[in-house]
Amino acid sequence: MEWENYVIQQCPASAFYIPDFITAQEETFLLSQVAKTPKPRWTQLSHRRLINYGGVPHPRGMIAEAMPPWLQNYVDKINQLTGVFGDDKKANHVLVNEYLAGQGIMPHSDGPLFHPTITTISCGSHAVLEFYEPQETEDGTTTTMQRVPVTKLLIEPRSLLILKDDMYHKYLHYIAEIRQDVIDENVSNISKVSKVQLSDVLERTTRISFTIRHVPKTSKMKIKLF
């Protein structure tokens, strides 16, 4: 697959959106595997939960762990996208996020623990990913940080989203904690999505995302984290 052909021209460099990257049958399979995950395997956050596969990234290095075979198939599928992480890098980590209807994630950037490319397969529900540019403003002696809207992306079930360059380094991305999304003119990939038009109101259900990345600093030996 020539993933570079799926670039979103209407937003800053660089975002790529591939609809139907996986089939409906594959989506059902992935959701069933996540549903069978034992509760202790999940990391519970204040408003949602997640699972790390391949290891837990840490500034001092990630202790590499074996990827379950059912998930390795999709890591391999990403690695078959020639050059997506550069010439000699392969995905070695998967972050599984669960978003119930009304749940989201605060504005953030993914930072230096990862190679600066995000690849995300979505299952279940859609999401609207919003991007902001952090800017400092000064009023006399007071400096405040503002978030200037940049763009939005509609992420459909079974799609693959790839983020690089400024879309990784420069802008914060987040998902609002709401139960429905109104599709407006700020959604820059509207021409690439199916059966969705401006002003449509989309109801959220449970979304499971698989963010598949390359962690450069890994070790097979136990390291002291504290």
What pLDDT score does 143 carry? 55
Q: What is the mean pLDDT of residues 193-209?
A: 95
- Show the tokens assigned to 156: 């459909």
Q: What is the tens place of the pLDDT at every residue in 54-71?
A: 999 888 889 999 999 999
Looking up tokens 């762990």, which residue turns up?
A: 65
What pLDDT score does 174 carry? 95
What pLDDT score does 225 carry? 39
CA angle 94, 119, 168 (to 5 degrees): 115
Q: How confident is the model at residue 28 (pLDDT cuts 50, 70, 90)?
A: very high
Q: Where are the domains of the chain?
A: 3-217
Domain spanning 3-217: which superfamily? Alpha-ketoglutarate-dependent dioxygenase AlkB-like (2.60.120.590)
Angle of helix 24-35 versus helix 69-79 axis, rounded to 10: 140
Q: What is the mean pLDDT of residues 68-85?
A: 96
Question: Does 79 have pLDDT greater than 70?
Answer: yes
Q: What is the tens place of the pLDDT at every residue in 119-139?
A: 999 999 999 999 999 887 766
Helix spans in 61-141 (H)? 69-79
Contact call for residues 156 and 128 (beta carbons, < 8 A): no
What pLDDT score does 179 carry? 98
Share the mean pLDDT of the chain: 92
